[in-house]
Amino acid sequence: MNWYGCWTLYSRESRRFLNVKMQTIVAPALTAVMYLIVFRYAMGDRQVPNLDVPYFDFLIPGLVMMAMMQNAFANTSSSIMVGKLMNVQIFLMMAPLSAIEITIAFLAAAITRAVVVAVVLLLVLAPFTNIHIEHLWMILFYSITGSIIMGGMGMIAGMWSKTFDDMALLNNFIIIPLTFLSGVFYSVKQLPETWQVVNHFNPFFYLIDGFRHGFLNVGDTDPSQAIAIVSIATLTTVFACWKLWQTGWRLKD
C-alpha cells in the first residue's frame, strides 16, 4: 500500500471542499434550519404516530443523515466529473496509486465531508431540541457506512457521467427521490402496507432509520436486519468502485 500517496490524494480531496466552506458546510446547515422552522410551525407539538416521539425530535436525525448522504455523494461525483471535463483525470490514473488506494482516498474524503457537515448541523440544531444520544455506536456505524455508500455511488456516477446534465439526471431522478422517500420527514409505518413493503427495498431507508434509532432508540425496522443490509451494501459499493476504477470504466473515453 502506498499510504503516503493515498494520504496525499485524501488531503487534496478534503482541501477541495474546505476551500468552499460556504457552499459545502454553511449552505447545508442553513437549509436544515429552514426545514426545521417550516416543519416546527406546520406540525407544532405533534407526536409521530406509532413511535410516540415528538415530531421535532424525530425530524432532526433524518435531516442530519440526509445532509450527510447528499454531501458524501457530491464530494466524489463532482471531483471525478470536473477531472474528466478538464482532461486531468488521466494524470490520476497514471499516478503510482492502485485502484484500491484511490478508492480509499476518495471515500475517506467523502466521510470527512459528511461528518463535518453532520457535526455543524447538530451544533446548529442543538439549541432547538432536547434530543440526546442513546446508542453512540449506531450513530457512528450509520454515519460511516452511509458516507461510504453514498461516496461510492458518487464515484460510480462520476465515472458514468459525461456531462453535468448526466450527473443532474442521476441526482434529481434517483438520489433525491430515494432520499426524500426513505422516511426523513415521516415514519414509514404511516404509509399503506403495500408502500411499506416497497420502501424496504430502498437502501436509504435503513441508513436514515438506523441513524435515527441511535438518537431516539425507536425505529421502523429491526436493527439487526438493518445492520446486515447496510453492511452488505457497503461492501458491495466499495468492491464495485474498486473494480470499475481498476478497469478504467468510462474514464478513458
Mind listing the pLDDT tens digit for each residue in 149-190?
Answer: 999 999 999 999 988 889 889 888 888 888 888 888 888 888
Question: Could you tell me the pLDDT band of residue 214, with boundaries at 50, 70 and 90?
Answer: very high
The per-residue pLDDT for 46 is 80
More confident of the two residues 72 and 186: 72
Mean per-residue pLDDT, 124-131: 78
The answer to whether residue 252 is domain-embedded is: no
The answer to whether residue 2 is domain-embedded is: no
**Helix, strand, or coil here: 242?**
helix
The answer to whether residue 1 is domain-embedded is: no
Mean per-residue pLDDT, 93-108: 94
Number of structural domains, the chain? 1
The answer to whether residue 3 is domain-embedded is: no
Q: Which of 11-20, 29-38, 85-94, 171-180 has the highest mean pLDDT?
A: 11-20
DSSP string, 118-183: HHHHHHHHGGG-----S-HHHHHHHHHHHHHHHHHHHHHHHHH-SSHHHHHHHIIIIIHHHHHTTS
Q: Can you say whether the dihedral through the CA atoms of 68, 73, 75, 76 is positive or negative?
A: positive
Mean per-residue pLDDT, 80-86: 89
More confident of the two residues 159 and 124: 159
The answer to whether residue 109 is domain-embedded is: yes
d(C-alpha 134, C-alpha 35), whole Å? 24
Cell numbers for 63: 435531516
Domain that includes residue 149, residue range: 9-247
Does residue 140 register a pLDDT over 80? yes
The answer to whether residue 45 is domain-embedded is: yes
Does residue 237 register a pLDDT over 90? yes
The answer to whether residue 130 is domain-embedded is: yes
Does residue 126 register a pLDDT over 80? no
Mean pLDDT lowest among 24-28, 151-155, 228-232: 24-28
Cell numbers for 45: 407539538
Q: Name the amino acid, one letter, at 211.
A: F
The per-residue pLDDT for 12 is 94
Contacts by 8-12, CB closer than 8 A, 24 or more apart = 9/92, 9/95, 9/97, 9/101, 9/102, 9/105, 9/106, 10/104, 10/105, 10/108, 10/109, 10/112
Question: With contact defined as beta carbons under 8 Å apart, do 127 and 60 qualify?
Answer: no
Note if the pTM is more than 0.85. Answer: yes
Instruction: From residue 84, give the alpha-carbon distance in Å to each of 31, 65, 89, 113.
Output: 30, 29, 5, 22
